[in-house]
Amino acid sequence: MNTYSSQVLEDGERNYIVKLTAILDTADQPITTVIKPSDCAAFVPRRFRLDHVDFTISDQLEIQLWWEGTPDAIILPMAGRNKFNYNDLGGLQNNASAATGAIRIATTGYQTGTQVYAVLIWLVKQP
């Protein structure tokens, strides 16, 4: 049975850092809303800006991060192991139409056995 988890590592007035993990042993993870502005305790933003992401993903899998909207807008496809720092570029801005401010995740490529991922996401809260 697939298992997913998210852990908020920092929830400050400005920064929101989240760790997402999954163990897939039956199928790909469907598109799932994993981060919502309403989850924030210190300050509830209207939306987030993505400044940095670190990830480790089993070789068969690819992960897609999406800004939730109508339609959703792809933030970043990821595979393998890497990190991306967008802070020097001003971060990745939410460009979804009718954006809700939430972030979604999905996987593709599951074939057989146990596949895993761990993703750390550094976000900045935006009013």
Q: For 76-99, how does the pLDDT look when each residue is reduced to its tens digit (9 = 90+)?
A: 999 999 999 999 999 999 999 999
Q: Confidence class of residue 113 from pLDDT cuts 50, 70 and 90?
A: very high
Class of domain 3-126: mainly beta
* pTM (global) more than 0.85: yes
Locate 55 and state its tokens: 């990830």
In the chain, what's the furthest Cα-to-Cα distance? 43
Domain ranges of the chain: 3-126
**Cis omega before residue 30 (within 30°)?**
no
Q: For 53-81, how does the pLDDT look when each residue is reduced to its tens digit (9 = 90+)?
A: 999 999 999 999 999 999 999 999 999 99
* pLDDT(42) > 90: no
What average pLDDT does the chain have? 97
